[in-house]
Amino acid sequence: MAFMETLLSLISLLSSALLLHAVVEGPKPITLSLIHPFSPHSPFYPGNITDMEKINILIQGTYARMHHLFSTMRERNWNDSSEVDNIVATVQYTGFYFVAQVGIGSFPSFFGQKGMPYLLMIDTGSQITWVQCEDCDPCFPLQQLNFPYRRSQSYKSIPCGDPTCPTPNQDCFKSFCGFRIRYGEDPSASTAGAIVRETLTFPSDFGGTESYNDLFLGCGFKSYHYEFRQSNKIGGILGLGFRGTRTLSFLNQVGKKRFSYCLSNSEHTNSQLYIGGAMMVGPQVLSTPLLRGSIEGLYYVDLQDISIQNIRLRLQGSFSGGSAIDSGCPMTFLLPNIYARVRIGFVQYFAQFHIQPYDSGSRPRDLPWLDLCFPNPSGFDRYPTMTFHFRGADLVVQPTGIFLAGRNYICVVLKSSPVTMIGAFQQTQHKFSYDFELGDGSRGEIGALRFAPQDCGSPA
């Protein structure tokens, strides 16, 4: 099985750039093209790096994502001061996020276009959409102008305490409706600023544009501890977190009740993300409820068991705290007791072929930073599938979504963690739809996750 080229192409899917490709008119969806992070077309393109560096970037990105999620869970309350110099706050330039090109504001007489184009990171764990604005101090480096809000004809400020302000009064920025958000830890990055009303514009395949007026937008004026390079092209965040009933939610503001994506397994192809659109249907489409969980903004599913090559591990009742599914997390984390059982399952599977895992004494120095790795015998191609058994639906992950392989080794792409989270590596070659028109609210369901296997991608 020719793993190396295929598997390495999956690494760091979260640094893919979602360069806006088509747009909605009326009920049609916003359609975004997903560009692989290792494609020269991506703003996260790392240049000529080795295969091992690519693999370890995947792992580093997963830890960065987990640090961000834990910090948002712990740091619910900021102090009431309008200044945030004492706040530790970061989104690192690790390239583990999707990016959408969005036009912001209205500048017909200045720039010959309705909105200035900015690349915004997609975050399925955040409801706040924001961009760095002029007059920021301190600022993170940005290749283009910080958003010149004063010159935008559609810019509208919101006073602190105004009944239309979607954030608490303690988050006010000086005399304006405000926001404060942090990412990561030790030190974490943070941004604070004003919530304003603005116009977001998406280019159309047909040469026109589609605009959404008077949307809530965060205007970032204070940013700390961002480790972006001077060549940074990323201007802020596009929040696609749990919509709930909050008016701040981007999905609620644009009137969309579902979004979907399909993650490509090749840096040479583009795949798609849709905001809106029709319900996902078809003979292969499966559905499981979306649930609320312990980390605000994330989407949770009822994971009941796991199989290795159709052999159930009998893990029922082990998934305390729920199981999140997050396209912003590069790889999957499992609770320690679950990870231990899954590890044993893989060891037992390979043992029937007389393949034993590396231990601390036999482990080669050039292996990735993964716990479970095996020698990869020449010609061996009987790699197992891994199935996540959700309530009412089974997600069957093929070997290309489980293993990273080198010339002489193969490693299982899973990690032990205090939470269970299904990451992007295990989601490749499936289309996923987060549908909020479905679900039984009386049972705590916020929607339905629908999915089906699909060849994600078209030539880049």
- Mean pLDDT computed over 284-309: 93
Q: Is 295 helix (H, G, I), strand (E, B) or coil?
A: coil
Residue 115 in this model has a pLDDT that exceeds 60: yes
Domains of the chain: total: 2
- 95: alpha, beta or left, given left = phi > 0 and alpha = psi -120 to 50? left
Q: Which of 275, 299, 324 is the last residue of a domain?
A: 275
Residue 1 in this model has a pLDDT that exceeds 60: no
**pLDDT number for residue 27:** 44
pLDDT band with cut points at 50, 70 and 90 for residue 8: very low
Residues 292, 235 share a domain:
no
Residues 290, 254 share a domain:
no
Please state, in angstroms and rounded to a whole number, the distance separating the CA atoms of residues 139 and 225: 9
**pLDDT number for residue 53:** 63
**pLDDT number for residue 23:** 33
Residues 268, 298 share a domain:
no
CATH, residue 345: 2.40.70.10
Among candidates 94, 215, 196, which has minimal Cα distance to 135? 196
Segment among 88-92, 158-162, 237-241, 265-269 with least mean pLDDT: 88-92
- Compute the mean pLDDT over every residue in the chain, rounded to the nearest whole number: 79
379 vs 3, more confident? 379
Contact by Cβ (8 Å): 312, 348: no
Q: Has this prediction a pTM greater than 0.85?
A: no
Span 117-172, pLDDT tens digits: 898 887 777 888 999 999 999 999 999 999 999 999 999 999 999 999 999 999 99
Residues 198, 257 share a domain:
yes
Residue 65 in this model has a pLDDT that exceeds 50: yes
**pLDDT number for residue 112:** 54
Please state, in angstroms and rounded to a whole number, the distance separating the CA atoms of residues 279 and 252: 17
Whether residue 349 lies inside any domain: the answer is yes
373 vs 186, more confident? 373
Span 414-429, pLDDT tens digits: 999 888 999 888 998 8
263 vs 39, more confident? 263
Span 327-361, pLDDT tens digits: 878 789 999 999 999 999 999 999 999 999 999 88
Please state, in angstroms and rounded to a whole number, the distance separating the CA atoms of residues 164 and 283: 44
The CA–CA distances, whole Å, from 112 to 102, 131, 139, 214, 294 equal 16, 21, 27, 21, 46
Contact by Cβ (8 Å): 157, 194: yes
The CA–CA distances, whole Å, from 120 to 60, 92, 124, 131, 374 equal 21, 14, 12, 8, 39
Residue 233 in this model has a pLDDT that exceeds 90: no
**pLDDT number for residue 294:** 83
Q: Which of 275, 302, 333 is the last residue of a domain?
A: 275
- Mean pLDDT computed over 390-408: 92
Q: Which residues, in sequence order, are bridge partners of residue 218? A: 130, 195
Residues 256, 394 share a domain:
no
- Mean pLDDT computed over 168-188: 85
Span 11-42, pLDDT tens digits: 333 333 333 333 333 345 666 555 555 556 55
Domain coverage including residue 412: 286-459
Q: Which of 231, 249, 275 is the last residue of a domain?
A: 275
